[in-house]
Amino acid sequence: MVAGAADAVSGRERRRLAALYEWNAEVSAALGTTLGHLCMLLLAEGNAEQAVAELVPLREDLSLVYGPDHEETQEVADVLTRLRHVDGETGQVSGR
């Protein structure tokens, strides 16, 4: 009976962990989208340096969570590459 009870608890805990991971993925995706929109707003306002300051850690987080080849990670990396290209030509954007 003890082994059966342990299996029931571990099964229940696995379901709870699975639900937590699913919720975390949804929150992470929403947060990443929101931060991406914020950065695009900063760029539209001409605040490229602040956008870069927000995009660098966002790219690092996306890379850790989804991997460097994931579509969202690549989108952020592409924006950073374009901003750094501008920096090389004009010196206005930090190339961090």
Q: What is the pLDDT of residue 66?
A: 83
Complete domains list, the chain, with CATH? 2-90 (1.20.58)
Scan for tokens 């639900």, then name that residue: 19
Measured from the Cβ of residue 28, the count of other Cβ atoms closer than 10 Å reads 14
Predicted TM-score (pTM) of this structure = 0.56
* Per-residue pLDDT tens listing for the chain (96 residues): 455 555 666 777 788 877 777 776 666 666 667 777 787 888 888 888 888 888 898 888 888 888 999 888 898 899 889 888 765 544 444 444
CA 94/CA 14 separation, integer angstroms: 45
